[in-house]
A = this chain, B = another copy of it.
Amino acid sequence: MSPAPERPATVAEVGEAGVLAVLSGPGDAYTGDPVGNGDDAAVLGPAAATVVTTDMLVEGTHFRLDLTTWRDIGRRAVAQNVSDVLAMGADCSRVLVALAVPGETTMEQIRELAAGIHGEAARSGAVVVGGDLTSAHLVVVSVTAIGTLPEGARPLRIDGAAPGDRVALTGEPGRSAAGLALLLAGHADGPLQQAHRVPVPPIGSGRAARLAGATSLTDVSDGLMRDLSGMARASGVAADLVVDALPVDPRLGEAAAILGRPDPGAQVMDWILDGGEDHGLLGTFPTDSDVPAGFTVIGTIRDGDPGEVSLDGHPRTPGGWDSARGAN
Q: Which A residues contact B (CB, under 8 angstroms)?
A: 11-19, 34-35, 38-56, 58, 60-62, 83-85, 87-88, 90, 94, 96-100, 103, 129-138, 140, 142, 144-147, 149, 155, 157-159, 217-219, 234, 322-326
Q: List 20 A-B contacts (CB under 8 A).
A: A11-B324, A13-B325, A14-B324, A39-B155, A40-B83, A40-B218, A40-B219, A43-B52, A43-B149, A45-B49, A46-B47, A52-B144, A53-B130, A54-B144, A56-B100, A56-B140, A103-B324, A132-B323, A136-B138, A140-B142
Which residue of A34, A40, A47, A129 has the most chain B CB atoms within 10 A of its CB atom? Answer: A40
Additional A-B contact list (18), CB under 8 Å, known A16-B322, A16-B324 = A14-B324, A34-B49, A39-B158, A42-B52, A43-B50, A44-B49, A47-B50, A50-B146, A54-B130, A54-B132, A56-B98, A56-B134, A56-B142, A61-B135, A98-B142, A135-B324, A136-B140, A144-B144
Q: How far is the CA of A3 from the CA of B319 in the complex (A)?
A: 36
Residues of B with C-beta under 8 A to A56: 98-100, 132, 134, 140, 142
Across the two chains, which residue of chain B brings its CB closest to A131?
Answer: B54
Which residue of A42, A45, A48, A60 has the most chain B CB atoms within 10 A of its CB atom? Answer: A42
Across the two chains, which residue of chain B brings its CB closest to A321?
Answer: B16
Residues of B with C-beta under 8 A to A52: 41-44, 52, 94, 96, 129-130, 144, 146
The 7 closest A-B pairs by CB, nearest first: A41-B53, A142-B142, A40-B87, A56-B98, A40-B84, A44-B50, A144-B144
Which residue of A11, A62, A133, A134 has the most chain B CB atoms within 10 A of its CB atom? Answer: A134
Residues of B with C-beta under 8 A to A134: 56, 58, 61-62, 323
Q: Is the CB of B135 within 8 A of A326?
A: yes
Q: How far is the CA of A234 from the CA of B97 in the complex (A)?
A: 22
Q: How far is the CA of A147 from the CA of B52 in the complex (A)?
A: 12
Across the two chains, which residue of chain B brings its CB closest to A222?
Answer: B16
Q: How far is the CA of A83 from the CA of B155 in the complex (A)?
A: 30
Work out how many copies of this chain go into the complex.
2
Residues of B with C-beta under 8 A to A43: 49-52, 88, 149, 155
Q: Is the CB of A54 within 8 A of B96?
A: yes
Q: Is the CB of A34 within 8 A of B155?
A: yes
Q: Is the CB of B103 within 8 A of A325?
A: yes
CB of A179, distance to nearest CB on chain B (Å): 20
> Given A56-B134, A136-B60 in contact, is the A51-B42 Cβ separation under 8 Å?
yes
Q: Is the CB of B12 within 8 A of A324?
A: yes
CB of A149, distance to nearest CB on chain B (Å): 7
Residues of B with C-beta under 8 A to A130: 52-54
Q: Is the CB of B50 within 8 A of A19?
A: no
Q: Is the CB of A46 within 8 A of B48?
A: yes
Q: Is the CB of A144 within 8 A of B96?
A: yes
Residues of B with C-beta under 8 A to A46: 46-49
Q: How far is the CA of A44 from the CA of B147 in the complex (A)?
A: 10
Q: Is the CB of B60 within 8 A of A53?
A: no
Residues of B with C-beta under 8 A to A58: 100, 134-136, 140
